[in-house]
Structure 1
Amino acid sequence: MTTAAQGSEVPEFRSARADLRRRQILDAARRLVSEKGFGCRMDEVAAAIGVTKPAVYRYFPGKDTLIRAMLEEDLVVPTKALVARIDAYEGPIRGLLEIFAEGTLSIQENGLSRGYMALAMDEAQSRPDVAGLIRENVLGVSVMRVAQAFQRSMATGELRKVEDPTLLVRLFFAPFMQIALVRGGFGVPMDGPAAYRDYVKFHIDAFLRAFGPVPPSGA
């Protein structure tokens, strides 16, 4: 191998090594957050992968930067994928609600929902930019897509028209927030993922019975 060829491989090797180290830091931080919450320290993250704290800061200049990176991977990226599925869907409203429900439950299960829910509720003052990321790029975009779907369904007659569609969206969202609270140790206890899915199925059925088209007289 020529010297020139060897030289061309050096940046690629360094990039791969940097990507690996970044992945190790994120995975270690995720484990610590799931165990201790967002009170875990950067030196604990460093110790978990056998490096110094300055080595961690080389990739993530501060704790908030590290938290934002986890949020991006665990919540923002899967939310974008869910929104893409919703945007591509052209069937009846029930199917769209089922897609949204399954995607949201999956994000909650895989996204350290306990820690992130606590962050959104309890640390909005100390980390307003991070809490804002959750509101705008996860909750906000989901609410907007559901609102758009409801408006389309009202226009086609799949859902009956209501005076304030925002109230309809909030009503539909309520059980998912309840599940997030249960996962975080609040609310009425539920027996895990199967119970969450039964609850959501019941909710979708009840929601469509309540706000679907009014049946013809005598039907």
Structure 2
Amino acid sequence: MGNTGTGAGVSGDQERTRRKNGPLRVDAQRNLRHVLSAARDVFGEQGYGAPMEEVARRARVGVGTVYRRFPNKEALVRYIAAEETERLTARAREALAVEDEPWRALEGFVQRSAAAGAGRLLPPELLSATAAAEPEGSAAVRVPQQRGAGTHELLSAVGKLVERTRAAGELRSDVTVADLMLVIATTPPRLEDAGRQSAAETRLLAILLQGLRANGR
């Protein structure tokens, strides 16, 4: 999985950025951690359309500090998206390791991923790519060869979850990888009250998961 502190387990783009910029001083490492943490929070709340200035403000650094590590917003978005893809892939593989309860494994994967805000941090093209690859009503698991191995590995792992749960008779026959990714990415409107927000998210996810189950059980 990705590591916001050191960049361990980074993607190809992340590794090239690290090599280009060279080793970081202690203060620069601290600033980078703050920037990455802030970027996850800001993009998770506002989407990838949020400005770099908001990331810098939340990280309590100057916007120039952000641009010294990431030459443009696209580079920062790619970094965060690749990191989230790695996290979600690891989570899907953990679910696959639970062999005796397919539905509980799939349900837990979706719940943990949605709670972590993964749907708002994955590569922006992911949902449209999976939807295009899986026509409505298709029972087959089709994994497109996306840009970058990380995305392909994620869709492959999620595809195995879908296939296994369907084979156990616990998932509707028409549910696809794209459907699962859409459920993870779906959130209710933002509410000012944190308690109401959490309750709304939990309720919406429960309804969506029930809709995925065979016979709506």
Q: TM-score range by the shorter chain?
A: 0.5 to 0.7
Residues 1-219 of structure 1 aligned to structure 2 (within 5 Å):
15-73=25-83, 75-91=84-100, 95-111=101-117, 113-114=119-120, 119-120=124-125, 136-138=152-154, 140-146=155-161, 148-149=163-164, 153=167, 158-159=168-169, 168=173, 170=175, 174=179, 177-178=182-183, 180-183=185-188, 191-197=200-206, 199-201=208-210, 203-204=212-213, 206=215
Q: Which amino acid aligns with 2:160?
A: R
Residue 201 and residue 136 in structure 1: after superposition, are their counterparts in 2 closer, same or farther (change >3 A)?
same
Residue 89 and residue 109 in structure 1: after superposition, are their counterparts in 2 closer, same or farther (change >3 A)?
closer
Aligned residues: CA RMSD = 4.1
Residue 71 and residue 169 in structure 1: after superposition, are their counterparts in 2 closer, same or farther (change >3 A)?
farther
User: Once the 2 structures are TM-superposed, how far is the Cα of residue 70 of structure 1 from its aligned partner?
Assistant: 2.0
Q: Distance in 1 between matches of 2:180 and 2:63?
A: 41
Could you tell me the TM-score, scaled by structure 1's length?
0.56
Q: Which amino acid aligns with 1:78?
A: R
Residue 132 and residue 106 in structure 1: after superposition, are their counterparts in 2 closer, same or farther (change >3 A)?
farther
Check whether the contact 2:56–2:62 (CA below 8 A) recurs between aligned residues. yes
Task: Structure 2: state its 5+ residue gaps.
Answer: 1-22, 130-145, 191-198
Greater C-alpha radius of gyration: 1
Q: Distance in 2 between matches of 1:170 and 1:205?
A: 10
Residue 42 and residue 179 in structure 1: after superposition, are their counterparts in 2 closer, same or farther (change >3 A)?
closer
Q: Distance in 1 between matches of 2:160 and 2:211?
A: 22
Aligned residues: 169
User: Once the 2 structures are TM-superposed, how far is the Cα of residue 21 of structure 1 from its aligned partner?
Assistant: 1.4
* Structure holding more helix per residue: 1
Task: Structure 1: state its 5+ residue gaps.
Answer: 1-12, 125-130, 161-166, 210-219
Q: Distance in 2 between matches of 1:197 and 1:76?
A: 23
User: Once the 2 structures are TM-superposed, how far is the Cα of residue 198 of structure 1 from its aligned partner?
Assistant: 5.3
Q: Distance in 1 between matches of 2:65 and 2:186?
A: 36
User: Once the 2 structures are TM-superposed, how far is the Cα of residue 25 of structure 1 from its aligned partner?
Assistant: 0.4
Could you tell me the TM-score, scaled by structure 2's length?
0.56
Q: Distance in 1 between matches of 2:177 and 2:48?
A: 30
